[in-house]
Structure 1
């Protein structure tokens, strides 16, 4: 056991030609340099995430929730994570259906854990997507981190897999510092006392 908190970096877009893996690779590199996390990158394009959900919500079904076998790696990654970074584009002022489905198939895996956001898009840099995600994850009793990363006009603001903004790494460190703080505090709290449901 390394003593580090486990960070799941989730690539939310499955669209053909997506930019998400580039962003995820860069933020994973920043997280490794940060040193406070054990990192797992989860690409939703590699996971079976159906849009059709069972009748009973996962909130009430718990561990017996009937998920497809192809979703097992995602469920395991979310379950074992102490913190999350969601990498999302902005589609029509919101986030991808693939990410919503992945969230909706789970409930307790998000509870009392911190979630940070790395978004990209046009002029708003994916901020509309993040605003919607904050609402959804609050409903699941997750703790959302205020200081996320947003990359406006990513198609001209990145080169060779890296953002052109010289301050991006500093912003990433702030996000990761806050995420690590919350991950440590909430992990200790979950170990000490079960979260009330």
Structure 2
């Protein structure tokens, strides 16, 4: 079977962020599986406009193509003020139909929190976009300034559960989209 194309979206663009390290950690774990073809989509690599322009920019079109090409997503997000970053909301809003009928998993992190408020808010946003959000979540309770995510056995189990759920939904929805296009 063709591996499921999974985009790991790194949602923070702040200077000194932990998201790139958490994202790399996740890509390494997911890369150990032969049922997934994983790519990182780091929002810091996109030069998005400060406000929504009248016409889509090259960066916006590039991001939307990445979303369209993926069959499943894992969003890596910090928790800022009990929610997710504005950079992530901006990027999510650039695509619409491209998200539909695809599964989304979450990896959250926070300094003195695990980022679960951000995940709760993201579930609402992605439900409105007609995705399926998986129940399994990987949540890091990072200490401020910690250089990398811990290699904890529970986190590895959480990643396995989340990726297993993402894979099941991804393959099921792939077959469903092939048999009958999704409309709303």
- Pick the TM interval, shorter chain: over 0.9
Within 2, Cα distance between the matches of 1:154 and 1:83? 30
CA RMSD of aligned residues (A): 1.7
Q: 2:168 maps to which residue?
A: 181
Q: 1:170 maps to which residue?
A: 157
Q: Deviations over 1:134-175 (max 9, x none)?
A: 00000000110111101113437x66x341422211110111
Within 2, Cα distance between the matches of 1:39 and 1:164? 20
Q: 1:78 maps to which residue?
A: 67
CA contact (8 A) 1:7 1:38 kept: yes
Pairwise CA distance, 1:85? 0.4
Within 2, Cα distance between the matches of 1:70 and 1:127? 29
1:193 maps onto 2:180 in alignment: yes
1:23 maps onto 2:12 in alignment: no
Structure 1 unaligned blocks of 5 or more: 56-65
Q: Deviations over 1:95-145 (max 9, x none)?
A: 000000001111011100000000000333000000000000000001101
Within 2, Cα distance between the matches of 1:193 and 1:103? 25
**C-alpha distance 136-32 of structure 1, shift in aligned 2 (>3 A):** same
Structure 2 unaligned blocks of 5 or more: none
2:96 to 104, 107, 114: 107
Within 2, Cα distance between the matches of 1:122 and 1:16? 15
1:92 maps onto 2:81 in alignment: yes
Alignment of structure 1 residues 109-124 onto 2, 5 Å: 109-124=98-113
CA contact (8 A) 1:78 1:110 kept: yes
Within 2, Cα distance between the matches of 1:154 and 1:120? 10
CA contact (8 A) 1:48 1:68 kept: no
| Number of corresponding residues | 184
Alignment of structure 1 residues 61-76 onto 2, 5 Å: 66-76=55-65
Within 2, Cα distance between the matches of 1:49 and 1:154? 30
TM-score by length of 2: 0.93
CA contact (8 A) 2:60 2:94 kept: no
